[in-house]
Structures are given as structure tokens and as C-alpha cells.
A = this chain, B = another copy of it.
Amino acid sequence: MDSGELKKVGLKATLPRLRILSILEHHTDDHMSAEDVYRALMDAGDETPLATVYRVLTQFEKAGLVIRHNFEGGRSVFELDSGEHHDHIVCLDCGRVEEFIDDTIEARQDRIATQHGFEISDHSLVLYGHCIRDDCPNRDDR
């Protein structure tokens, strides 16, 4: 168990925290909602209540272990902070999330912020669209 990971950021290595960290590390989809994590715990036989999942995820966020995203639809998704910043493309049909980085865009953003008298501390760029894949239930609506 990587209880060291937790202590390193000043968090006690408790069972719920270790379990949730492990799930975030091993799950196929990097981007999980609190509900997703909760269900993954259940599937693993751990009856950790949803409230604890939220609490732990928020602690992880504060500690810099995870990043919280507010994609469309009101619910938050969390991903382990790999240290490398990136932006996202979200499929509105199947919910698939892809990551990308574009240095030109990054550079432009900084310039724009400066021009407007802002000291930028963070940014969020999310492209929403429809992915062209067989396994995507391309909705006919819209």
C-alpha cells in the first residue's frame, strides 16, 4: 500500500483514503465522479458511504492529489493530478473524455490574461462534441 503517498501530502493513511486512492490509480477511466468512485468501492466489497467519498476527494483536491472538473451537467469529476496540465474533449453522447495539450493555445492564454490585467491562476478548456466511434451510442437527437 502506498501509505507514503498520503503522508507525503500531510494526510493520515486511513483505510478509506487508501482505498479511494487505489481506485483512482487503477480505474480504466481516469475521470470519475464521486458516484463512480462510490460504486467502484462497492464492487470491491467496501461499503464506504458516499459522504466519505466526497470528503476524501475534497481532501485529495486540497492536498493537490487530484483535480476536480466541473464539466457540463452539474456533476464534478475527479482525476489524479499527473502534474502535467492538459485540457479535455468530452463526448456529449457517450461521455468519453480525451485529453490534449496545445502549446500555442497555452501561450495565447497567458498573453490574453496579461492584456486584460489578470494574473492567471488556472484555466479550463473543454471541447464538447460528438465522437465518431462504433461503440459510441451516437444519439439521433439534436
Contact = CB atoms under 8 A, between A and B. Distances in A.
Contacts of A74: 70, 74, 76
B108 A104 contact: yes
Contact of A91 (B76, B118, B125): B118
Given A74-B74, A102-B108, A122 B128 contact: yes
Q: Determine how many copies of this chain the complex contains.
A: 2
Contact of A123 (B116, B118, B127): B127
A78 to B, nearest CB: 14
A135 interface: no
Interface of A: 70-74, 76, 89, 91-92, 98, 100, 102, 104-105, 108-109, 112-113, 116-133, 142
